[in-house]
Amino acid sequence: MSEVEHYDIVVVGGGPVGLASAWHAARRGARVAVFEQFAFGNEQCGTSGAERHWRLQYTEPDLCQLTGEALPLWRELERAGGQQLLHAFGSLWFGDVDVATNEGKISATARTMDQLSIPYEWLTAADIERRYGFADLPRHFEGFVQPDGGAVDVRATVDGLLRLSESAGVVLRAGESVQELVPDGEGVRLRTPRGWCRAGKVVLANGPYVNRLLEPLGARLDLNVFEMALVTLRQRDPRARYPFWFVFQEPTEEDTNLFYGFPPNAWQDTDVVRVGPVFEVNPLDDPEQATGSPDPRHVSRVCDWVDRHLPVVDARPLARETCLAVLPADPERQFFLGTAKGLFDGGDNVVIATGGWGFKFVPLLGKVCADLCVDGATDYRVERLMLPDPTRP
Ligand code: BEZ
């Protein structure tokens, strides 16, 4: 590769957010390349598993509004790729309604939905047991089902974005890591094992690897990388259906005591389900410490919960995987999204989209990154997510 290779935009990281950024930018006429250190479609970062949660509700009204704004962009992506990606079978949040978690709080989320006229149905423990087959729930548990939530088909999303990016002319470079960024007045030079190239703008959508490129520039995002368990189980009655569920409980001394699960997914003929704990414990110092094998204690914690409270599911694990959660240390912000202006010289030419449980926002994050690269600004209200700018008053 010679120094003359030049793109308007280089995206570092070919996961869903990187590909969505590339697709949106290429549709606006930019010459775009994506550099992915592994293979496209790999499940080594945050995107492992067949499905991810789609939900409208957030405790924070601005994030609730953003999920609403992500919806038409999902519809546009479904139309462009010719495949349904969002499957609405409901999103059920229940448990201790006032327990404060990094995912939010049930009671405050219901108030936000009232304020924004997002429909939901309030349910008692008895309602949840009767309607969805849960059992032995503590009597004080309550919660809501939001009928428009459900799951996103992860693999169809990534495959669709790859196809669309390719047909929009995006150069897709697998197995090529970006090892160094050198911003200068006009853009950014990037070093890969094949040499140097230039870009007017760079999007860093490389999840847990972002600080490797930022640290030599004197910047660092305050994020934690957790390797969380994802367990596959079989459903005893293959026809039983219930919403995506997330149980909010008081933390134990050992962990955050939060569990979630999907019903058999709607786009496959299957009786298997996936469940997981959301334990923000034992952060990794480096993403390469991820082993792909979950902590056995975390697997038994979630399986014990299922065994006691979801009898339609056989709690003996069929498979055990992990997913990497890259979470901002400050849970108020949920994501990192914005330009690196003020973080280092030339940071205004670097856009960062990393961290957070972001799958539900994939097309929106991609559109915002493209807007920031092409227009230098976006109309989406993403102030909460913007990067810390030491020069901003
Ligand atoms: C979420 O909806 O953000 C979420 C769902 C399951 C696990 C973690 C986060």
Q: Are residues 171 and 320 in the same domain?
A: no
So what's the pLDDT on residue 82?
98
Residues 29-72 pLDDT 10s: 999 999 999 999 887 665 567 899 999 999 999 999 999 999 99
Q: Are residues 305 and 236 in the same domain?
A: yes
So what's the pLDDT on residue 43?
74
Domain boundary among 283, 309, 328: 328
179 CA from centroid of ligand 1 (Å) = 31
Residue ranges of the chain with per-residue pLDDT less than 50:
1
So what's the pLDDT on residue 42?
81
Question: From edge to edge, which strands make up the β-sheet containing 86-88?
Answer: 51-54, 150-153, 86-88
Ligand 1 atom with the smallest distance to the CA of 91 is 2
CA-nearest residue for atom 5, ligand 1, is 53
374 CA from centroid of ligand 1 (Å) = 31
Q: Are residues 140 and 128 in the same domain?
A: yes
Residue 119 structural domain = 91-147+224-328
Task: Look at residue 232 and tell me if it is in a domain.
Answer: yes
CA 183 vs CA 37, 168, 199, 350: distances in Å: 21, 27, 9, 8
So what's the pLDDT on residue 177?
96
Pocket lining: 52 vs ligand 1, CB cutoff 6 Å: no
Tell the burial category of 163 from Cβ atoms under 10 Å away from its Cβ (0-12, 13-18, 19+): middle
Q: Are residues 175 and 267 in the same domain?
A: no
CA-nearest residue for atom 2, ligand 1, is 53
Could you tell me how far CA 182 lies from the centroid of its own chain?
28
pTM: 0.96
For residue 288, give both structure tokens: 């390469």
Tell the burial category of 269 from Cβ atoms under 10 Å away from its Cβ (0-12, 13-18, 19+): exposed
Task: Look at residue 251 and tell me if it is in a domain.
Answer: yes
Please count the CA atoms within 13 angstroms of the CA of 256 that sit on its side-chain side: 21
Q: Write out the E strands in 81-170.
A: 86-88, 91-95, 121-124, 142-146, 150-153
Q: Are residues 229 and 319 in the same domain?
A: yes
Q: Are residues 142 and 162 in the same domain?
A: no
Task: Look at residue 216 and tell me if it is in a domain.
Answer: yes
CA proximity to 288, closest of 203, 194, 212: 212
Task: Look at residue 61 and tell me if it is in a domain.
Answer: no
Say how far apart CA 17 and CA 337 lie, in whole Å: 11
240: domain CATH number is 3.30.9.10
The H or E element spanning position 53 is strand 51-54
Task: Look at residue 288 and tell me if it is in a domain.
Answer: yes
Task: Look at residue 59 and tell me if it is in a domain.
Answer: no
Q: Are residues 323 and 350 in the same domain?
A: no
**How big, in percent rounded to 5, are the helix, strand and coil portions of the chain?**
30, 30, 40
Q: Are residues 239 and 202 in the same domain?
A: no
Q: Are residues 214 and 245 in the same domain?
A: no
> Of 51, 93, 231, 278, which is best to mutate to test ligand 1, by the most ligand atoms within 8 angstroms of its C-beta?
278
Domains contained in the chain, number: 2
159: domain CATH number is 3.50.50.60
Asked if 373 and 9 touch (Cβ cutoff 8 Å), the reply is yes
53 CA from centroid of ligand 1 (Å) = 6
For residue 71, give both structure tokens: 């919806």
Task: Look at residue 79 and tell me if it is in a domain.
Answer: no
Rg (CA), the chain: 21
- Tell me how many degrees the CA angle 200-204-205 measures, rounded to the nearest 5: 135
Pocket lining: 357 vs ligand 1, CB cutoff 6 Å: yes
> Of 103, 230, 362, which is best to mutate to test ligand 1, by the most ligand atoms within 8 angstroms of its C-beta?
103
> In sequence order, which residues have a C-beta less than 8 Å from that of residue 189 and are 6 or more positions away?
181, 182, 183, 196, 197, 198
DSSP letter assigned to residue 387: P
Task: Look at residue 143 and tell me if it is in a domain.
Answer: yes
Say how far apart CA 35 and CA 202 lie, in whole Å: 11
> Of 67, 260, 279, 324, which is best to mutate to test ligand 1, by the most ligand atoms within 8 angstroms of its C-beta?
260
Q: Enumerate long-range contacts of 121-126, CB under 8 Å, 24 or more apart.
A: 121/145, 121/147, 123/92, 123/94, 125/94
